[in-house]
Amino acid sequence: MAWEQTAVLVGILSPLVGTPLAMITLYLRAIRDQQASGISMLTRRIQTMESAIHELVRSAADFEREYTTKEEWVRESMYARQRLERLTELATRIQVELENGHGVAAQIGRMAAAMTDVAAACRQMTGVEVESEGSGETTGESCGAFREGGSDER
């Protein structure tokens, strides 16, 4: 074969080989572009998932900070129970003091006794006392200070 025959043969076969070869090249390029876009979309999704995971970890850490552990809860409840017991002891002590006469009731009783003593002393100063018949009660005029004001009504 001479070079002329080879040139004719290549000229005849080139459209038969060139067209499928061009189609294969275009097909492979389309596959490569599709894979590149798929990889970029997959990379974007992975980044979105990673950011969502980081946000989830951050919110879980916040959640753990907002709520106490069981040990902390037990410690806080024991502290509250101790404070409640102290308050109960204080209320009991106040009640006992009131019942024993160290409190307000005793003060009122002492004040009433002092007022009775003042009234008796006032009666002795005026010298006017009349004893009731058989009852043992003493009635008389009140102290002069009340007599001057005109508020003595018996």
Say which residues have a Cβ less than 8 Å from residue 130's Cβ, sequence separation at least 6: 138, 139, 140
- At 5-40, the pLDDT tens digits run 888 888 888 888 888 888 999 999 999 999 999 999
Map out the domains of the chain as residue ranges: 12-67, 83-126
pLDDT reported for residue 7:
87
- At 73-132, the pLDDT tens digits run 888 888 888 988 888 888 888 777 777 765 666 677 788 888 888 888 887 877 655 444
User: Does the pTM of the predicted model rise above 0.75?
Assistant: no
